[in-house]
Chains A and B, each alone.
Chain A
Amino acid sequence: MQFGIFSVSDITRDPISGETPSEAERIEAIVKIAVKAEEVGLDVFAIGEHHNPPFFSSSPTTLLAHIAALTERLILTTATTLITTNDPVRIAEEYAMLQHLAKGRMDLMLGRGNTAPVYPWFGQDIRQGLPLALEHYNLLHRLWREDVVDWEGQFRTPLQGFTSTPRPLDDVPPFVWHGSIRTPEIAEQAAFYGNGYFANHIFWPTSHSKRLIDFYRQRFEHYGHGTRKQAVVGIGGQAYIAKRSQDAVKEFRPYFDEAPVYGHGPTLEEFTQGTPLSVGSPQEVIDKTLTFHDALGDYQRQMFLIDHAGMPLGMVLDQLELLGGEVVPVLRKELAARRDPESAEAPTHAGLVKAKYGDGPARQPRPNANRGDNVTGASPYQDSEPAAEYPEI
């Protein structure tokens, strides 16, 4: 079971101080937050992707590669990578590069994004959002698994004899989570490929997320990747922790009330009652988080949103101390005690390498010399199947 934090990368006015951090300050802060996440014993850090103010994270792999260089254990991932408006070829290239630099300590979560104007900025049409996401992933999947890809689809220019470089680390593609709140096709795609399924689990109660998680588990089994319990499930969550429950409510309320998306809507009490948000003592956060397991069964990754709505860096770092120091250790123990041994392990690069090669050596692709035509053609690597040979005259 992996525990981590995910950030949407919003730059929001602090309602207490009235200050809005600069982009420079917020970017510096997110690096400190990620490093702190490792220090306090968390497993995963995830960053979102946006292409408009007030967000800073337009280039997640650059940020994550930097954090990878500053950490040793932390798994770097996204929440989410836009599979709709990004070219899947660029995703294949950028994330494979990140995978090498992070020595495999990364994966990624694919999402459609929720900002309608982004689509035309990248030449896409939001009305095609779902087919775009599905087709783009079909291509991405192949780019990481086949050295040479011929491909033609509805949305992207066709590829002939294309090789995405670098090949994934140890020739093992990064683990992929498909994120969805209410789209059965995304859950089906996750199940079809045997990838992970992630429910954002912020705005709706656990019962809502459970519907598609159960569907994904059933389809994962249908496609022969393992039993339902072996399907790989991650969920989000949101917490504000203080030693004393009443302090948590008092401290968090001004941030909640003015939070982007749900601020100025439901009260903190209504939202806490009706969604996975927990605001309270470490024990209260532990208790509520355990109800997720009661509803969903064993799952592999629990993420928390803790750095949004203008919360200043000091406050976020304090949250990390409490989350890593008092909440997660108890959750690890409790969930380990409840875990069915049949359930899937949380995905890691080491686990995927082991699954592919056993104890044997991993493939290390070495390219053939450039043949001068700037195309890769049929046999780009020394261990590739040779192209048809014709007798030389």
Chain B
Amino acid sequence: MNTPKEPFRLAVVSAGTSDPSSTRMLADRIASRIGALAQERGGAVAVDVVDLRGLATEITTAIVSQHMGPKMTRAIEVLGRADGIVASAPVYKAAPSGLFSSFFHVLDNDLLIAKPVILAATAGTARHALVVDEQMRSLFAYLRTMTVPTSVFAATEDWNASELGERIGRAAIELLLLMESGFAEQVRSESWKSYQHEFGSAGGTELDIDLSSDLMRLATGGSALKPKRPE
């Protein structure tokens, strides 16, 4: 086990819209459980919260014009340097809320590669329980995150049930172990280039330019023609 000197940076993304919000409460419960577990194990966690309610207009602006406002820019910085993420959404109409999905839609595809993520959702009825596994998990698979095995779903009746606390505990230890293992950091340091990137992606941090590609050869007067017969 790595015992880091620096606390783990945990980003909590909540798409709850009321204040107080049960979606945010669920995210906070998960975050504080991770913090407590880390402390028991001699570590520490520093939490940054990205509450999407305050970013709503910037998110819609980003969708229609690609213009990133200052709050979006800060949120991207927070996610880019996070060691782990808690992503918590309310379920509307049998899907994670549009605000939640839209936020992740406008992020660069490579911003969250290999980062451990706990997926959480709240709903007014237990009938929405599979939204986390069937919809949110595929979004985060596309973003190539490392989602933990346990999803955390809380319908109205779950708030007073001890089982919710147990699921939170399971998800928290799963995330903590993934952070401790240094998995994301290692994937990103050893294999970053093998994923697709664009210049300036990963929140503006991906600035490596491969000068030996076929296109670069073409840019510098070379030919795009394939040799006519194999040498």
Question: Bound complex: CA of A154 vs CA of B222, how far in Å?
Answer: 12
A93 at the interface (CB under 8 A from B): no
Chain B residues closer than 8 Å to A252, beta-carbon distance: none
The interface bits of chain B over 197-231 (1 if a CB of A lies within 8 angstroms of the residue's CB, else 0) are 01110001001010100011011110111000000
B149 interface residue, CB < 8 Å from A? no
A130, A154, A262, A274: the one contacting B68 at CB < 8 Å is A274
Q: Is the CB of B209 within 8 A of A135?
A: no
Contacts of B220 in A (CB 8 A): 188-189, 192
B102-137 toward A: CB 8 Å interface, digit per residue (1/0)?
A: 000000000000000000000000000000000000
Find chain A residues with CB under 8 A from B211 CB. Answer: 188
Q: Select from chain B the residue with minimum beta-carbon distance to A207.
A: B204
B66 interface residue per 8 A CB criterion: yes
Q: Return the contact of B224 from the options A135, A262, A271, A275 (Cβ within 8 A).
A: A135
Nearest CB on A from B195, distance (A): 17
B149 to chain A, nearest CB (A): 37
Q: A183-B199, A265-B64, A266-B69 are in contact. Are A211 and B207 (CB under 8 A)?
A: yes
Q: B223: which of A153, A270, A273 is its contact (CB, 8 Å)?
A: A153
Which residues on A sit within 8 Å (CB–CB) of B42? none
Determine if A363 is an interface residue (Cβ-Cβ < 8 Å).
no
CA distance A130 to B215 in the complex (A): 8
Q: Is the pair B225, A153 in contact by a Cβ cutoff of 8 Å?
A: yes
A184 & B209 in contact (Cβ 8 Å cutoff):
yes
Q: How far is the CA of A188 from the CA of B220 in the complex (A)?
A: 7
Complexed CA–CA distance, A264 and B57 (Å): 12
Interface size on B, residues (CB 8 A): 25
Check: A212 CB closer than 8 A to any chain B CB: yes
Instruction: Give how many A residues have a beta carbon under 8 Å from the other chain's beta carbons.
Output: 34
Interfacial chain A residues near B3, Cβ < 8 Å: none
Q: Which residues of B contact A356 (CB under 8 A)?
A: none
* A window 150-165: CB within 8 A of B: 152-155
B70 within 8 A of A: yes
Query: Which B residue's beta carbon lies closest to that of A137?
Result: B219
| Least CB distance, B60 to chain A, in whole angstroms | 8
| A274 and B67 in contact, given A153-B225, A182-B200, A215-B209 (Cβ under 8 angstroms) | yes
A262 CA / B69 CA spacing, docked (Å): 13
- List A contacts of B67 (CB < 8 A): 203, 262, 265-266, 270-271, 274-275
- Chain B contact residues, CB within 8 Å of chain A: 58, 61, 64-70, 198-200, 204, 207, 209, 211, 215-216, 218-221, 223-225
Could you give 27 example pairs across A and B, Cβ below 8 Å? A131-B224, A134-B215, A134-B218, A134-B224, A135-B224, A138-B218, A141-B221, A153-B224, A153-B225, A154-B223, A155-B224, A184-B199, A185-B215, A185-B216, A185-B218, A188-B211, A193-B221, A203-B66, A203-B67, A208-B200, A211-B200, A215-B209, A261-B65, A265-B61, A265-B64, A266-B65, A271-B67
